[in-house]
Chains A and B, each alone.
Chain A
Amino acid sequence: MINAILVIGGLAALFGLILAIAAIRFHVKSDPIVDKVDALLPQTQCGQCSYPGCRPYAEAITNGSADINQCPPGGQTTIIALADLLGKDVKPLNPENGEEQVAMVAVIDEKECIGCTLCIQACPVDAILGAAKMMHTVIAEQCTGCDLCLPPCPEDCIEMVPLAQSIDSWKWPIPESPVIRGSISK
């Protein structure tokens, strides 16, 4: 009996020691976690999460002041990825932050544009080209669809349109349930 207690107790102490050493030895600074969280965010920089961009939101998630379900552009996929990284439970998107939407891209009506440069200043990712008093234009591949250029435009000539689907961007959908199988009997 005594022997058994000693052995179990000794093992517990040993593992405790190993864990303690591992905690010190493999300690990670908090910054790399912010990087990892930031890497999972879509970088739309739209501010819908109520932070002034993706990185500030990543910092808030890491220090525990924000939940993982506040990024509408990332949607469920991002929430799952964040939950996976941080060992939290998956939850639905917080409706206060907005709804998950199809990918959008900004388009400037070039005839209306007066070249005020206000949209350039608003664009968080430098996706708008133009100069003072010259017509502006959006580089579609670089636009993140954040909406931020719409409010400052005095001419109201910027519009968000859904990103056109092509054969290259098409994806096999998840099978609908219940599925009825096709007619060619295998």
Chain B
Amino acid sequence: MSTTRARIWPFFGGIRLPGHKSESLGKTIQAHSLPQQLILPLNQHIGLSATPAVKPGDKVFKGQLIASASSSVSAPIHAPTSGTIKAITQHPTLHPSGLNAPCIVLEPDTQEQWADTIKPNAHPLQIEPETLRKLIGSAGIVGLGGAAFPTRLKLETGIENNIDTLIINAAECEPYITCDNALILERAAHIIEGIQILLRALNISRCLIGIEDEMKPAIHTLKQALTLTDETDIRLVETPTRYPAGGEKQLVKTLTGKEIPANGLPSDIGVLCHNVGTCYAVYQAIRHGIPLISRIVTVAGPGLGKACNLEVLFGTPIKDLIQLCGGYVNDKTDLLIGGPMMGYPVNSDELPIIKSCNCILVGSRSTKTEQTVMPCIRCGECVDVCPAKILPQILYWHAQAKEFDRIQDYHLFDCIECGCCDYVCPSHIPLVQYFRFAKNEIWSMEKEKLKSDQARERHEFRNQRIEKQKQAIEERRRKKKAALENKPKNLADDPKKSAILAAIERVQRKKSVADVEPKNTSNLSNAQKRQIKETDERRKNNKSE
């Protein structure tokens, strides 16, 4: 542990925002009671959905694996409590679309019986790094700062790229959100142990903890926790309180002075970033053997009775949390998942909390400041605040004109969707939504391009096949004609012999026809083969009916 006030390299742009943090900070983290039903989406992370490992009717224990990772870019899911699997079904999930996705529905039995697979480790720092990474993966840990990227995969890329510094993101820069802050105040020692475990898993010793300089009590607590260890290579660095100080690119720049290249990752410049919530989850998983089954969620906003931080089991519906926080102050409210700058609206409070959800923000229509959108006046304020150093007003121009080629020339994909431009725009243009719209359109065009390329290939293949068939028929016709012309007269005179010849020719023709029979069953992908098999089965069933 060394002194703070290390050298920093402030990032470009950003804004000072009213924090609204004290509302939710004063109280301790409250544990949430068991809901009637837990709804656990199979995809709560970046990557492929997990594969269910249970079936309806199964009895499960707390912490038991209920869905396993389906690839390296995926994460397993564990039962947040003991109970019975009611169904594996489609349910609306926490997503801006509000669409259905496959979920496991668990009915708690209130026994809270732990699975016997849960094994604590008395000496986490003596475990081999490789084993640590595996354990972190099988505990279902994903980045809890909001991105929900599988932590094990991040660690492995760190190893591959020989990174030398671990950066811990404790700069909770968005207004209202205090879940990381609350966690530091109450469990700083555990977070430090989590950091030590991560360092060992990465085979490195250097760590920088970035924290906003206005989070004084949290800084104090972390410092104390650090003095209790004999770590000298874990340093606390205070960053100016300026949104978005906690953006990954901004934090890395502030702490190291190095810029993450466009389209690049922190590991490209030798660092790896993890959030303090993730460190705590790692501590829980390794020290106590407890997989990721809950997280701290900030519930706040002007439309809420009293703001607080809750420790919530995944799968708990939002409305239970709201109830515990004193309910809505009036009946017309808006719900935002995440903070006011980067969050997205949802229109139901039945949706379940998932791994990536750090904050529920409740807006109230009575405080609504309705703003009508005006045309862009080219004032350039958005340019001055954009931490990605891009030109929002030009991106906006191309996005609304749907010029998706040109918009990429202006580095659309460097936009981190921080919302600063939106915030300062005097014309109240919802710039970020335009940028999300443009990004989504470009991604979907890429997907469609892939699909149409495949369609073209199959179409060309089919045309070739038809052409070949035509040629084969032509060839036969020609041969036959030639044979007829060359046929010796005496043979044709003998009716018996000519009958035999005709029969031979028929057989031969049949054979050659068989050779060029249309075959759209060659070169099949596994999905197609599976479909043929399923169809065959259905066909058999149809017949036997």
Contacts of A53 in B (CB 8 A): 459
Q: Is B511 an interface residue (CB 8 A)?
A: no
**Cβ-defined contact, A137 with B535, below 8 A:** yes
Q: How far apart are B77's CB and chain A's nearest CB, in angstroms?
A: 16
Q: Is B454 an interface residue (CB 8 A)?
A: yes
Q: Is B117 an interface residue (CB 8 A)?
A: no
**Cβ-defined contact, B363 with A171, below 8 A:** no
Q: How far apart are A168's CB and chain B's nearest CB, in angstroms?
A: 9
Contacts of A124 in B (CB 8 A): 459, 462
Asked if A43 meets B456 with Cβ closer than 8 Å, knowing A110-B538, A175-B430, A181-B430, the reply is yes
Q: How far apart are B123's CB and chain A's nearest CB, in angstroms?
A: 42
Contacts of B96 in A (CB 8 A): 170, 172
Please report the C-alpha to C-alpha distance between residue A172 and residue B341 in the assembled complex, in whole angstroms. Answer: 17
Interface residue ranges of A39-58 to B (CB < 8 Å) = 39, 41-45, 53-55
Contacts of A178 in B (CB 8 A): 372-373
Q: How far apart are B100's CB and chain A's nearest CB, in angstroms?
A: 8
Contacts of B17 in A (CB 8 A): 186
**Cβ-defined contact, B452 with A43, below 8 A:** yes
Interface residue ranges of A48-75 to B (CB < 8 Å) = 53-55
Please report the C-alpha to C-alpha distance between residue A104 and residue B387 in the assembled complex, in whole angstroms. Answer: 42
Q: How far apart are A80's CB and chain B's nearest CB, in angstroms?
A: 6
**Cβ-defined contact, B402 with A77, below 8 A:** yes
Q: Is B114 an interface residue (CB 8 A)?
A: no
Interface window among A3-11, A13-21, A125-133, A152-160:
A125-133
Query: What's the count of A-B pairs with C-beta under 8 Å?
Result: 155
Contacts of B340 in A (CB 8 A): 184-186
**Cβ-defined contact, A186 with B423, below 8 A:** yes
Contacts of B454 in A (CB 8 A): 142
Convert B142-180 into 0s and 1s, putting 1 for each residue whose CB lies closer than 8 angstroms to a CB of A.
Answer: 000000000000000000000000000000000100000
Convert A77-109 into 0s and 1s, putting 1 for each residue whose CB lies closer than 8 angstroms to a CB of B.
Answer: 100110010000000000000000000000000
Asked if A174 meets B456 with Cβ closer than 8 Å, knowing A126-B520, A129-B520, A181-B370, the reply is no
Q: Is A30 an interface residue (CB 8 A)?
A: no
Contacts of A12 in B (CB 8 A): none
Q: How far apart are A140's CB and chain B's nearest CB, in angstroms?
A: 9
Q: Is the interface of A mostly helix, strand, loop or mixed?
A: loop
Q: Is B53 an interface residue (CB 8 A)?
A: no
CB contact between A80 and one of B403, B423, B520 (< 8 Å): that residue: B403
Q: How far apart are B200's CB and chain A's nearest CB, in angstroms?
A: 37
**Cβ-defined contact, B101 with A167, below 8 A:** yes
**Cβ-defined contact, B336 with A177, below 8 A:** no
Contacts of A174 in B (CB 8 A): 399-400, 402, 433-434, 437
Contacts of B97 in A (CB 8 A): 165, 167, 170
Q: How far apart are A125's CB and chain B's nearest CB, in angstroms?
A: 4
Q: Is B453 an interface residue (CB 8 A)?
A: yes
Asked if A172 meets B521 with Cβ closer than 8 Å, knowing A43-B456, A129-B535, A181-B430, the reply is no
**Cβ-defined contact, B365 with A183, below 8 A:** yes
Contacts of A54 in B (CB 8 A): 456, 459
Asked if A129 meets B462 with Cβ closer than 8 Å, knowing A172-B96, A173-B437, A186-B341, the reply is no
Closest to A121 in B: B518
Contacts of A125 in B (CB 8 A): 455, 458-459, 462
**Cβ-defined contact, A141 with B430, below 8 A:** no
Contacts of B333 in A (CB 8 A): 183
Contacts of A182 in B (CB 8 A): 334, 336, 345, 363, 368
**Cβ-defined contact, B542 with A135, below 8 A:** yes
With A126-B458, A165-B97 known, 20 other A-B pairs at CB within 8 A are A41-B452, A43-B456, A45-B459, A80-B402, A124-B462, A129-B520, A129-B521, A135-B535, A135-B542, A169-B444, A172-B96, A174-B434, A179-B373, A179-B428, A182-B345, A184-B340, A185-B302, A185-B340, A185-B367, A186-B340
Q: List 11 A-B contacts (CB under 8 A).
A: A54-B459, A77-B445, A110-B539, A129-B532, A135-B542, A144-B452, A175-B430, A175-B434, A175-B437, A186-B340, A186-B341
